[in-house]
Amino acid sequence: EPEVTQTPSHQVTQMGQEVILRCVPISNHLYFYWYRQILGQKVEFLVSFYNNEISEKSEIFDDQFSVERPDGSNFTLKIRSTKLEDSAMYFCASSENSGNEKLFFGSGTQLSVL
């Protein structure tokens, strides 16, 4: 079964450093998402991306965050200057045709900011 893959599975970084989280969505999917889950809390929406541009973003997704689809397969989330409160599990997801169809999630990248 096709799946969304994320790398790395764990990322440890120092506060103020830049990190890039990588995702390979399912190949025929057109909508891409980033969600995050702080330990013990709900899964929260960060951003959705379609047709090479952001279609929606949450208030969490400030100017320290950016997304990119640099080629036909990868979808990345960059945090420019990490803060302690950015520590969370970051999930990439994709969906096939419409933003209203079911999302398939990757296994996540656990980001720890020290």
* Interface ranges with another protein (CB under 8 A): 4, 6, 31, 33, 35, 39-40, 42-45, 48, 55-56, 58, 91, 93, 95, 98-100, 102-108
CB of 71 to another protein, least distance (A): 23
Half-sphere exposure of 9 (CA within 13 A, CB side): 1
SS3 60: coil
Please answer whether residues 97 and 51 qualify as being in contact, where contact means their C-beta atoms are separated by less than 8 angstroms.
no
Of 18 and 56, CB closest to another protein: 56
The least CB distance from residue 44 to another protein, in Å, is 7
Q: DSSP letter at 90?
A: E
